[in-house]
Amino acid sequence: MAIKTLDIIRRRVEERPEELKKERANGKKVLGWIGYHIPEEVAYSLGFIPIRISVGGDSKLVEVGARYASSKTCVFLREIVGAFAENTDPYIQETDVLAFDATCLQNFRAAEVIEYFFKRDVVVLGVPRNVYWEEAIEYFTQEAKEFTRLLEERAGVSVDKKKLAEAVDLFNKIRAALKEIYQYQASKGNVISWLEVYDLIQAGYVLDKQEYLQLLQQTLAELKEQQSYIDIEQEAGEARIFISGSVIPRGDRKLINIITSLGGRIVGDDIWTGIIPYLDLNIKEISPEGIALGYLNRTPHGALPYLELKTDKRLKKLHGLLDEYKAQGVIYHTLRYCDPYTFKAKETKDVLAQSGIPLLEIHTEYAGSDYEAIRTRVEAFVEMIRNQTIESEEEVSA
Amino acid sequence: MSDKKLFRYSEENKERFLDSANIKFDDGTEVTPEEIWHYLTVEGPAKYPNSFEINLYQGNRGTRDETLISSLKAQYLSLTLSERMEKAKDKGKTIAFIQGGQAVDPYTAADTIALRPALINSWYAGKTHGETIYQRNLRTRGIKERAYNDMSFEACQTGGYEQIQAGDLRVDIVAPYSVLRCSDVSYGLEAHRHGPNKDVKLFLADFPMRHQADKKWAIEYFAKNLRRLTKALDEITGKETTEEDLRESIKLHNKGRRLAVELADLWWSADVPPTNGGDRGSLVTLGNLEAHGDAQATLSVLEEARKEIEERVKNGVRGHGVAENPKRLFVLGSCVGLNNYRSEESGAIVVGTDNMWSHLTTIVDEEGDPYYNLAKATLEYPYEQSIEKRALWTVEQIKRSRAEGVIFIHNWGCNTQAAVSRAIVDVIKRETGLPTFISERELGGLQHEQEQNRVNAFIEMV
């Protein structure tokens, strides 16, 4: 049985651009954001409608973006720049203020380029690289205060502690609901797929937050009714795949479709546009900087270097998620010129090999020319994993 | 051993050369002009024939102007870098691998030799003797390919990774700055954590972004990074770097920076270029005092260079190989440059660059907290500012140098320079009306002919 609420969500996403137009006509302001550390709660409490700008999969826009930001910028950001140049994406059209963070240097550069060429009002949150240092926390606290000040200026109001607490509560509930739904997709007898949850997560980038929470809770209720248990175990003949690496935004479903069309079952991810931003977010203090620090203390983004392999939180989290979702192999997706993840591909492969987990790196862009090449490689990988499962089952039964 | 025919510096210049000053080194030793001449004419060609090969474009020769004494001395320092680094290590000196285009004041204060990627490559390459240009290029490109495999083939330059990890170079610490100029510094540093050389220490000085020089908290944060940096270096040297040490180092480096600016101003003031573009570039950048792994030696050559340029300007000397009324080019972008010889052959000359020059022009305040002062100056580097601010500073330099054409070069995979190339050039065009050109190149790549064709076409157009 299908989850009916998912259809409602799809419809509401389609209707959202028109709604935004009306909201703006009524005096509301839209804050479009791109990054990993943007504290959405702060923007929300100030009365902005936060929209996560996320486009992908369009090689024409990538080409357009290259005219402004060069062909050496990562494919995702090149397309973002291209989308600002074309200005046909409804969310880009409806954005009043843009917020970027400096987590990824290329993200920061994209902010500069968009500000320069398209005269957009851009606010940037500085992010330290040595995030484990006390001094870095002090610096980030100041950056969060400055970021808030700049948003307050644009909103025309100051942060209200009560509204901020309400925003935190709302966003915490959204995160909790998403985490719970995510468990269902990885279970035996699942009635919702990873891709459906992935789309559900990305619907939250644009929908009204109150409505989104209500739709998530409705989805959960349906799930509980149709799937009475969560039992995350490998099943016979399964090839349970975990996706790691570069961002996979809305519009880019090339790799995901290849994996699923070949019978691979995606059971988890740790990508920037997937579940990872919603995990381990613990806000200890209701203040803009308290929220920002909560964001900073999650699993670090690949753009933030960590100099000791053994205690790397990102790799530790990856191991934890692989274990939790009983994944048998990792497809490591790297986008052209996405340095934060391409530089880590070999290392991640070597580290996972020590735990007996195979990793396949797929380095790609939005053009379709590599489709068949990727398909062949993924097919072999899925087959290998499935054979391993069969072999280990035979060993057990022998 | 090479069987190629080698050139020899002309004896005609020997007498003048022998009348010049000694080079003084950080450890108090000196080398006389006689010893340098012997090295350049006997020992050097035997060890490094690739630098003395006779070919159309003079191979790896550091200078083509045999009468420019300071440039010959800079060539001597380049050729001896590898053996000097080996000796320094034998004596227990600490060596850090750095990246980020920064001034090296804190490393000098902490009694540490700071080497950038090109110097790490030279140190490694210089350990093998008797190679031809072809043999050396083949070997160093092989290293780069292995590093691509270990990191990413989309790396801009592999930043000495393979030389440090597998090349048996005695580097104690990899300690770069995470500046915006380079997208790969942080990732290249992190890559060392899984290489075979696990003994090398790692440190990152975290460079804040976005109007950083206008934010007191950003300056304070970076100052704390610098304190941590000297502490990390102290843990290796076993010494304690005091604020006074840093203050003294800043004074020393300010001296280098001021001299370099004086030299550049003299050069720009001349009606005819007093040297060719290659010599201009290598002499000006001596001002960083890190170009040869020895601050005092570099300073003594720089002092001599300044006098030589002044003399040449006074006498209206035209630089070796410089055409009559050459087209003056300003080159900006990644830490790479044009082929000076071939550009001059086409009737142009490089009269300025933004890389390195940006921090040479930034004098550090000598009074007060040296860490804060150095942090403030570093965050003020024009090269690291926003598009408009950086471009307007570049426009000033273009005007000072009287350039007639502007080339923005970004290296293959240099994402953060490539990303702003069009915007920067856009401002320059708007403010100066000069013709501009954006070019991509690859360090040590094989497509130089294509690159040069495009550059030559631009020169022809100018």
- Residue B454's domain is classified under what CATH number? 3.40.50.11900
Residues in contact with B76: Cβ distance below 8 Å, sequence separation at least 6, in sequence order = B23, B31, B36, B39, B40, B44
A132-151 residues touching B, CB cutoff 8 A:
133, 135-136, 138-139, 142-143, 146
Beta bridge partners of B173: B96, B201
Please report residues of A whose CB lies closer than 8 A to that of B423. Answer: 68, 112-113, 116-117
Residue B382: inside a domain? yes
Residue B308: inside a domain? no
Size of chain A, expressed as the number of residues it contains? 398
Alpha-carbon distance A372 to nearest alpha carbon in chain B (angstroms): 22
Question: How many Cα atoms sit within 13 Å of A5 on the Cβ side?
Answer: 23
- pLDDT value, residue B146: 87
Run of H or E including A81:
helix A75-86
Token match 């380029």: residue?
A113
Cα of first residue to Cα of last residue in chain B, in angstroms, is 44
Q: Which of B149, B204, B412 is nearest residue A305 as measured by Cβ atoms?
A: B204
Please report residues of A whose CB lies closer than 8 A to that of B426. Answer: 116
In this structure, the answer to whether residues B97 and B232 fall within a common structural domain is: yes
Residues in contact with A20: Cβ distance below 8 Å, sequence separation at least 6, in sequence order = A30, A49, A51, A90, A91, A94
In terms of CA atoms, which chain A residue is nearest residue B190?
A307
Report residue B61's pLDDT band, with 50, 70 and 90 as the boundaries.
low
- pLDDT value, residue B56: 62
Q: What is the pLDDT of residues B236-267, one digit of tens each?
A: 999 999 999 999 999 999 999 999 999 999 99
B217/A72 touch (CB, cutoff 8 Å), yes or no? no
For residue B80, give the 3-state DSSP assignment. coil
In this structure, the answer to whether residues B351 and B452 fall within a common structural domain is: yes
Model confidence at B60: pLDDT above 70: no
Please report residues of A whose CB lies closer than 8 A to that of B209. Answer: 102, 105, 108, 124, 126
A–B interface: beta-carbon pairs under 8 A: 148
Nearest to A179 by CA among A260, A279, A249: A279
In this structure, the answer to whether residues B210 and B350 fall within a common structural domain is: no
Q: What is the pLDDT of residues B212-242, one digit of tens each?
A: 999 999 999 999 999 999 999 999 999 999 9
A28-67 residues touching B, CB cutoff 8 A:
67
Q: Which of B187, B387, B419 is nearest residue A70 as measured by Cβ atoms?
A: B419
Let me know the angle formed at the C-alpha of B131 by B128 and B136, rounded to the nearest 5 degrees: 85
Domain that holds residue B150: 93-241
In this structure, the answer to whether residues B354 and B218 fall within a common structural domain is: no
Residues in contact with A391: Cβ distance below 8 Å, sequence separation at least 6, in sequence order = none
In this structure, the answer to whether residues B123 and B231 fall within a common structural domain is: yes
Residue B306: inside a domain? no
Alpha-carbon distance A100 to nearest alpha carbon in chain B (angstroms): 11
Residue B441: inside a domain? yes
Report how far residue B218's alpha carbon sits from residue B210's, in angstroms, rounded to the nearest whole number.
Answer: 10
Where do you find CATH 3.40.50.11900 in chain A? Answer: 234-397
The DSSP annotation for B312-337 comes to HHHHTPPPTTPPSSPEEEEEEESS--
CATH of domain A234-397: 3.40.50.11900
In this structure, the answer to whether residues B234 and B333 fall within a common structural domain is: no
Mutate one of A119, A307, A309, A312 to test the B interface: name it (highest B CB count within 10 A): A307
Alpha-carbon distance A164 to nearest alpha carbon in chain B (angstroms): 25
Residue B87: inside a domain? no
Report residue B5's pLDDT band, with 50, 70 and 90 as the boundaries.
confident
Report residue B445's pLDDT band, with 50, 70 and 90 as the boundaries.
low
Report how far residue B407's alpha carbon sits from residue B405's, in angstroms, rounded to the nearest whole number.
Answer: 7
Beta bridge partners of B411: B441
B210/A336 touch (CB, cutoff 8 Å), yes or no? no
For residue B173, give the 3-state DSSP assignment. strand
Token match 């190149």: residue?
B441
Q: Which of A67, A130, A339 is nearest residue B415 as measured by Cβ atoms?
A: A339
Please report residues of A whose CB lies closer than 8 A to that of B183. Answer: 105-106, 339
Model confidence at B6: pLDDT above 90: no
Per-residue pLDDT, averaged over B68-79, amounts to 95
User: In whole numbers, what is the pLDDT of chain A averaged over residues?
Assistant: 95
In this structure, the answer to whether residues B225 and B334 fall within a common structural domain is: no
Helices A288-296 and A161-185 cross at an angle (nearest 10°) of 20
Please report residues of A whose CB lies closer than 8 A to that of B224. Answer: 135
In terms of CA atoms, which chain A residue is nearest residue B147?
A343
Report residue B180's pLDDT band, with 50, 70 and 90 as the boundaries.
confident
In this structure, the answer to whether residues B455 and B351 fall within a common structural domain is: yes
Q: Which of B190, B225, B228 is nearest residue A305 as measured by Cβ atoms?
A: B190
- pLDDT value, residue A393: 67
Q: What is the pLDDT of residues B110-163, one digit of tens each?
A: 999 999 998 999 999 999 999 988 888 888 888 888 888 888 888 887 778 888
Report how far residue B401's alpha carbon sits from residue B331's, in angstroms, rounded to the nearest whole number.
Answer: 11
Q: What is the pLDDT of residues B371-402, one digit of tens each?
A: 999 999 999 999 999 999 999 999 999 999 99
Beta bridge partners of B112: B94
- pLDDT value, residue A80: 97
In this structure, the answer to whether residues B340 and B203 fall within a common structural domain is: no
Residue B65: inside a domain? no
Alpha-carbon distance B30 to nearest alpha carbon in chain A (angstroms): 40
Model confidence at B58: pLDDT above 70: no
Per-residue pLDDT, averaged over B189-202, amounts to 89
- pLDDT value, residue A326: 96
In terms of CA atoms, which chain B residue is nearest residue A135?
B221
Report how far residue A37's alpha carbon sits from residue A57's, in angstroms, rounded to the nearest whole number.
Answer: 24
Structure-block tokens of residue B131: 């190679």
Alpha-carbon distance B309 to nearest alpha carbon in chain A (angstroms): 39
- pLDDT value, residue A397: 64
Residue B353: inside a domain? yes
Residue B38: inside a domain? no
Q: What's the CATH architecture for A15-160?
A: 3-Layer(aba) Sandwich (3.40)
- pLDDT value, residue B143: 87
- Put simply, whether A314 touches B (Cβ < 8 Å) is no
0.80 surpassed by pTM: yes
Report how far residue A69's alpha carbon sits from residue B422's, in angstroms, rounded to the nearest whole number.
Answer: 7
Count of structural domains, chain B: 2
CATH assignment of the domain containing B101: 3.40.50.11890
Report how far residue A63's alpha carbon sits from residue A75's, in angstroms, rounded to the nearest whole number.
Answer: 9
Alpha-carbon distance A172 to nearest alpha carbon in chain B (angstroms): 30
B418/A72 touch (CB, cutoff 8 Å), yes or no? yes
Please report residues of B whose CB lies closer than 8 A to that of A142. Answer: 215, 217-218
pLDDT < 50: residue spans in chain A: none
For B294-321, b/e burial (b = at least 16 CB within 10 A) is bbbbbbbbbbbbbebbbebbeeebbbbb
Q: Contact, A151 vs A97, CB < 8 A?
A: yes
Where do you find CATH 3.40.50.11890 in chain A? Answer: 15-160
Query: In this predicted complex, what is the ipTM?
Result: 0.94
- At A383, phi and psi to the nearest 5? -65, -45
Report how far residue B408's alpha carbon sits from residue B421's, in angstroms, rounded to the nearest whole number.
Answer: 7
User: In whole numbers, what is the pLDDT of chain B averaged over residues?
Assistant: 92
Report how far residue B377's alpha carbon sits from residue B371's, in angstroms, rounded to the nearest whole number.
Answer: 10
- pLDDT value, residue B155: 86
Q: What is the pLDDT of residues A210-243, one digit of tens each?
A: 999 999 999 999 999 999 899 999 888 899 999 9
